[in-house]
Structure 1
Amino acid sequence: MKIGIDKIGFYAPHLFLDMNKLAVARDVDPAKYTIGIGQEKMAIAPITQDAVSLAANAALNILDDKDKEDIDFVIFGTESGIDHSKSAGVYIHDLLGLNPKARTIEVKQACYGATAGIQMAKGHIALHPKSKVLVLGADIARYGLNSGGEATQGAGAVAMVISADPRILALEDKSAYLTADIMDFWRPVYSDTAMVDGKLSNEKYISFFESVWEDYKVQSGFGLEDFTAICFHLPYTKMGQKALRAIYEQGTEEDKERLVANLEASKTYNKQVGNIYTGSLYLSLLSLLEQQEELQDGARIGLFSYGSGAVGEFFTGVLQPGYRKYLNTYDHEELLASRTELSVDAYETVFEDTLPADGSTVELEIESDPAKIALSGISGHMRHYVHKDKK
């Protein structure tokens, strides 16, 4: 039985910042941002969008009534959770009107959370072939104004329906993974911004990739010649290039050219959104599928997931016949094209516009947010969301 991605979509907030303008404001050569780390735009989340609403908007655009009835497991990977106890997925289950006879959980391991969700989904569907699982990866990457990580911020979400007989990507069985206790990136519970050792994180990302890649080759007998493309978790888009460079000499010049060209296609959306943590790998996959017109049915795609702290995994999938019919390329391109650019001053104002940390009552103005699902306020220490189509 084939199990894999039957549907996939993403959502990014309606605001963005041009990285060239941020560089000028920070007295940095713009090439450091646009070429050095490979970012063009940064998605900015208004106060009316959090991880829950971003994920709900991503899922809203791909689910039909049959999906809502068949989904009996919701797995939300995020490191931007809003509650130490209640799963962020429970809010989404209600907002989307899913079948109440379902399991719903939140999964956390830095940027690896959505991948953990996919692996759990595969096991669930193997036991229950008629089921569908909604896997979500949504985050808001925050490092602070004028911080070393500021240029690698971003916001967005990816939603995937995992099922038997998938129409887009069938996931193969073999997988290689690795865990080690490393303090390369973390966010203590008392902090709303992340802490990172950038040099160590880059080194560990590459060393984890090399390790799981070698393990996977032993398990599968495959080499670079067997892959049409390899997609990477992209905290910034240049990171994928650094990792691929570590292994592409294992193949021929033709292998190298193919993998490099497809890596470029896989970075298109990430360049315009920035880092979305748990969703970054799957935004890269979606970008490849929608922006590389030469991809053929039956192509094998490698996927490298890395969550600082750290867990890494390499696994693979095969594109299914007619997969292009089930993509939403126009909608995604329109979403990115219709956003509103912020000045650096306006971005800083939005960044510092945060919710009260003491549970105070607040009512938010959601009319200026075009998203169908938005955070409308807090009262009684509870967040309240609005699905505008259900008002």
Structure 2
Amino acid sequence: MFSEKKLEILGYVGFIAFIFILPLYMDEFWLSRFAKYLVFGMCGVAISLSWGYAGILNLGQGMFFGVGAYAIAFSLKLAGSSPAGGSTPIPDFMLLNAEPKAIPELGQIVTGSWIWVPFQSQWFGFAMGLLVPGIFAGLVAYVLGRSRVSGVYVAIITLSLTLLTRLLLVDQQQVTGGFNGITNMAYFNLFGLELDPYLKSTYYVVAICLTGVLLGLRWLVSTKAGLILQGIRDNQNRARYLGYSVSAYQIFFFVVSAMVAGLAGMLYVIVSEFASPTFLDISFSVTMVVWAAVGGRTSLLGACIGAILLNYVGATLSETESFLYAWQLLIGIIFLAIVLWLPMGLAGLATDFMRKLNGRKRTTI
């Protein structure tokens, strides 16, 4: 007989073992592709934390993902493509999109390039990929919390902020690359190890990061703060009556969720070698919510598996001739079926199955 706790532990152990065994059975192409799926799984975990546990339906998670992606892309771009071989903070596209100005301490440089100067250090880019989404999320959550904005209004506001951030990235073409995004980057150097997207070492770095995020957040939501957060999600007025600061708890977990999305954005750039304003498309943010809903928004592991599974199924169907133009419709049908008949997602289905199985065992004893 398995309790729900034992089932959850087995689920985590089985999933972690699965992602670490995969490289033994996959070629370089599929390994690189599956590394991207693991990154999307991290996005599902971030949505589960903010929506399933904090009760904040964030439709702007792509904004934090995109900011993290561009932060690390700035550093890798300078290391991989600069007119001075990476020693001068001038990415190649800036010379094409802006008029040069002479700055003595930096030589020939273009307008807006001062933003790139600190990104000569890839670790600065990595730090910004975590801190900027976290700080921005904290400001947004603080304003919303003070105003006691909740429900669908939070979703609308976060969606609008994502759209505005995307417009800013596209508009500042001379600094960000505009619609073209950022390409032709160097590999991320992890303490002397270059993370080539097609090497097993890169896949394992992504797998380790996902494992750390899963286990770390699972511990976090099981702490007293996590339990209080779930109480706030269920009834904010009761939590306030008991003396808890609703906004403080929601801000903290919203910031953590944003930083996880920023980390996912950086890892995606490392394994895909490009950053694009499409990361901030509304459709991408909404798709993250779909991943979490299918896997189970109140389960970190379920949301992660849902994201990986849907991306794998979508990629497979899109490459099948019979479903070349209908695969998105099929994904939509799967989502509708989950919402109508499995409101708690695949994780809820597994839990219900084990409850029934344990119930039958008890009746036979």
**With structure 2 as the length reference, what TM-score do the two structures score?**
0.26
Q: Which has the higher contact order (CA 8 A, sep 6+)?
A: 2
Q: Whose strand fraction is larger, Structure 1's or Structure 2's?
A: 1
Q: Whose helix fraction is larger, Structure 1's or Structure 2's?
A: 2
**With structure 1 as the length reference, what TM-score do the two structures score?**
0.25
